[in-house]
C-alpha cells in the first residue's frame, strides 16, 4: 500500500518516555504495520524486534481483531461497567481465567499495565482489611523492577529516574535487591546463581514484621530493566516465605503474559503460582488499550462475604474498565493465540532465537546477553554517559531497519510469536551490523 508523505508539525505532542527535543530533531515516525514489520511514512520497511512494546504477540494489524473491534463499535460502542455489564466482558474474563493457573479466576479489567498494578495494590490492601488485617500496608518489590507509572507502581518500581522527580509521598515499599549478578553473565535461561537473593524478603520480614506486609510484587522476568531471568529456586523461595507469613504474592505479568515465556503466563513457565496476576499489553495484541488483574477466587470470595449485602465490595474501577471494543479485541486476540497455537510456537522458536542472539556475544561492545522464551536482553558497554549509547544504538538500528526497545544501555528483544527463523536471522544481522560499529 503506498503511503503519502505529508509534512506534519511535531510541536504539540508531548511524547511519553521520549527525549522530546532529540526526537523532534531526528523523528522516527511509523506510518503502517503488518505482521512482523513497520513502515515509515516514506515507505521504509522496519523489522519489529520488540513486538511494538511487547504488545503485538500475533504480529501487527491482524484483520480478525480489527474487524471484531469494528463490529463491536457499531453494535455497542460503550456502556459503563459500573452497575451495567455487556456479554463480552464476562466472556473475556472467562477466557483469561482459563489461561491462568487453576484457582486464579476472578478478573478485574483496567486500561493499562500501570492501572493493573495500582489496582492490584488496592486489592491487596482491601483484602487484608476485609479479613481484619488492615495493618498490612507495606509492600515489597525489587530494585530494577518496573511496575508502571502510576503512584503505586512508581513506588514499587526500582528505577531512580522514574521516582526521582515525584517526591516522597509514595506508598510505603521496601525493596529487595535485584536478581542479576555478574556470575550470571551470558546465561541462557534461568541462572544457577542468585537464589539466596530471595532471603532479602526474610530480612525485610525480620525488620518490619511479617504482619505489616500486604504483598510482594515481582515480575517473573524483570522485563523493562533489561530482562533479568529469575535464578533457579528464587520464585519458589518467595512463594514459600509469603505462605509462611500470610503475605500475598503478586506476579506482574504485563510483559511475561500471553506466551512470552513459552506458556500462557510466567507463573506456569516457572511453576510458581502467585495469588494475583497483573497483565496488559498482549491481552488485545496491542490493538486496544486494556489491562487486567486476576485474583485467586478466595480473595474475591473474602471481599464478597465480608461486605454488607447489597453494597459495593471493592471501591475501585475506571470509566473504561471492560470497554466493549477492548473486550472484542481481547476475545479476537485470544482466539488467534489459540487457533495458531502461538504460545507453543513461541516455545518452539525460543531455542533458535536465543542461540542466534547469543552469537552476538563475540562483539566487544556486548557485555552480557540473557534470555528466556521469546524475551532477551543485551547489555551494551556504556559510553560517556549511562544510557547515551543505548539511546544512540536504538536510533541507528531504526535507521538500519530494526525497531527494538532500549532501557539505558540494554536492548530488549522480543519478536512476535509468529516470527519465522528468517525473521530471527534478519534481526540478528541488523543487530550485528550496528553493534559491530561500537
Ligand atoms: C511489568 C510491567 N508492569 C507494568 C507496566 C506498565 O504498563 P503500561 O505502560 O501499559 O501502563 C509495564 C510496561 O512495560 C511492565 O513492563
Residue 319 pLDDT exceeds 90: yes
Round the average pLDDT of the chain to a whole number and report it.
Answer: 97
The pLDDT of residue 3: 52
Predicted confidence band at 167 (pLDDT cuts at 50, 70, 90)? confident
C-alpha 134/C-alpha 130 separation (Å) is 7
Which domain covers residue 400, as residue numbers? 20-58+341-435
What single DSSP character describes residue 63?
H
Residue 2 pLDDT exceeds 60: no
Question: What is the average per-residue pLDDT within 303-330?
Answer: 98
pLDDT digits (tens, 9 = 90+) for 382-414: 998 999 999 999 999 999 999 999 999 999 999
pLDDT digits (tens, 9 = 90+) for 71-87: 999 999 999 999 999 99
Q: Considering its fold, how many domains does the chain have in total?
A: 2
**Strand 213-218 relative to strand 248-252: parallel, antiparallel, unpaired?**
parallel
Helices assigned H by DSSP within 287-371: 297-306, 324-339, 342-358
Residue 307 pLDDT exceeds 60: yes
Q: Which three cell numbers, joined as nine digits, stand for 311?
A: 453494597
Mutate to test the pocket of ligand 1, among 148, 162, 279, 291 (most ligand atoms within 8 A of CB): 148
Q: What is the CATH number of the domain that holds 407?
A: 3.90.1150.10
The pLDDT of residue 7: 81
Is the residue at 186 inside a domain? yes
147 within ligand 1 shell (Cβ under 6 A): yes
How far does Cα 376 stand from its chain's mean position? 13
Report the SS3 class of residue 434: helix
Under a CB-based contact definition with an 8 Å cutoff, are residues 1 and 32 in contact? yes
CA gyration radius, the chain: 21
Q: Looking at the CA of residue 278, tell me the nearest atom of ligand 1.
A: 3
**Single residue among 309, 339, 369 that ends a domain in this structure:** 339
C-alpha 379/C-alpha 382 separation (Å) is 9
The pLDDT of residue 168: 82
The pLDDT of residue 4: 58
**Single residue among 339, 360, 377 that ends a domain in this structure:** 339
For residue 117, report the distance from its CA to the centre of ligand 1, in Å.
Answer: 8
C-alpha 293/C-alpha 288 separation (Å) is 17
Mark whether 301 and 327 lie in a shared domain.
Answer: yes
- Give the number of other Cβ atoms within 10 Å of residue 102's Cβ: 10
C-alpha 437/C-alpha 205 separation (Å) is 48
Residue 192 pLDDT exceeds 70: yes
Q: Which residues are paired to 277 by β-bridges? A: 251, 294
For residue 254, report the distance from its CA to the centre of ligand 1, in Å.
Answer: 6
Mark whether 197 and 322 lie in a shared domain.
Answer: yes
Report the SS3 class of residue 380: strand
Under a CB-based contact definition with an 8 Å cutoff, are residues 331 and 91 in contact? yes
pLDDT digits (tens, 9 = 90+) for 237-294: 999 999 999 999 999 999 999 999 999 999 999 999 999 999 999 999 999 999 999 9
The pLDDT of residue 163: 87
Question: What is the average per-residue pLDDT within 128-154?
Answer: 97
pLDDT > 70: what percent of the chain? 99
Mark whether 77 and 166 lie in a shared domain.
Answer: yes
Predicted confidence band at 169 (pLDDT cuts at 50, 70, 90)? confident
Amino acid at each position: 500500500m503506498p503511503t503519502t508523505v505529508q509534512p506534519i508539525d511535531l510541536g504539540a505532542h508531548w511524547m511519553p518516555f521520549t527525549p522530546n527535543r532529540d526526537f523532534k530533531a531526528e523523528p522516527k515516525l511509523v506510518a503502517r504495520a503488518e505482521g512482523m514489520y513497520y513502515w515509515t511514512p516514506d515507505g521504509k520497511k522496519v523489522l519489529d524486534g520488540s513486538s511494538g512494546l511487547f504488545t503485538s504477540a500475533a504480529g501487527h494489524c491482524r484483520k480478525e481483531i480489527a474487524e471484531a473491534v469494528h463490529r463491536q463499535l457499531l453494535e455497542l460502542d460503550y456502556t459503563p461497567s459500573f452497575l451495567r455489564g455487556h456479554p463480552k466482558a464476562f466472556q473475556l474474563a472467562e477466557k483469561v481465567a482459563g489461561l491462568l493457573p487453576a484457582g486464579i479466576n476472578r478478573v478485574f479489567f483496567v486500561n493499562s499495565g500501570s492501572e493493573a498494578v495500582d489496582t492490584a495494590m488496592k486489592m491487596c490492601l482491601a483484602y487484608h482489611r476485609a479479613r481484619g488485617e488492615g495493618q498490612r500496608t507495606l509492600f515489597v518489590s525489587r530494585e530494577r523492577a518496573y511496575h508502571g507509572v502510576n503512584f503505586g507502581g512508581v513506588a514499587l518500581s526500582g528505577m531512580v529516574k522514574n521516582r526521582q522527580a515525584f517526591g516522597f509521598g509514595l506508598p510505603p515499599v521496601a525493596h529487595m535487591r535485584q536478581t542479576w549478578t555478574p556470575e550470571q553473565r551470558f546465561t541462557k535461561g534461568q541462572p544457577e546463581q542468585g537464589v539466596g537473593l530471595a532471603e532479602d524478603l526474610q530480612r525485610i520480614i525480620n525488620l518490619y514484621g511479617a504482619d505489616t506486609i500486604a504483598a510482594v510484587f515481582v515480575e517473573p522476568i524483570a522485563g523493562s530493566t533489561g530482562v533479568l531471568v529469575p535464578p533457579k529456586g528464587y520464585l519458589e523461595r518467595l512463594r514459600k516465605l509469603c505462605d509462611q507469613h500470610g503475605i500475598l504474592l503478586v506476579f506482574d505479568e504485563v510483559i511475561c503474559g500471553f506466551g512470552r515465556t513459552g506458556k500462557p503466563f510466567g507463573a506456569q513457565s516457572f511453576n510458581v503460582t502467585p495469588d494475583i496476576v497483573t497483565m496488559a499489553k498482549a491481552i488485545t495484541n496491542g490493538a486496544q488499550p486494556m489491562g487486567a488483574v486476576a485474583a485467586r477466587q478466595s480473595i474475591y470470595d473474602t471481599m464478597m462475604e465480608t461486605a454488607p449485602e447489597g453494597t459495593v465490595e471493592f471501591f475501585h474501577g475506571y470509566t473504561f474498565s471492560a470497554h466493549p471494543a477492548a473486550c472484542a479485541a481481547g476475545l479476537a486476540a485470544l482466539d488467534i493465540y489459540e487457533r495458531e497455537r502461538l504460545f507453543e510456537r513461541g516455545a518452539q522458536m525460543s531455542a533458535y532465537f536465543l542461540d542466534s542472539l547469543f552469537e552476538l556475544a563475540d562483539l566487544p561492545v556486548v557485555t552480557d546477553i540473557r534470555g528466556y522464551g521469546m524475551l532477551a536482553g543485551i547489555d551494551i558497554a556504556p559510553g560517556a554517559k549511562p544510557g547515551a549509547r543505548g539511546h544512540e544504538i536504538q536510533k541507528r538500528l531504526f535507521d538500519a531497519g530494526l525497531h527494538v526497545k532500549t532501557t539505558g544501555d540494554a536492548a530488549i528483544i522480543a519478536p512476535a510469536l509468529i516470527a519465522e527463523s528468517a525473521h530471527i536471522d534478519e534481526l540478528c544481522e541488523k543487530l550485528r551490523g550496528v553493534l559491530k560499529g561500537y
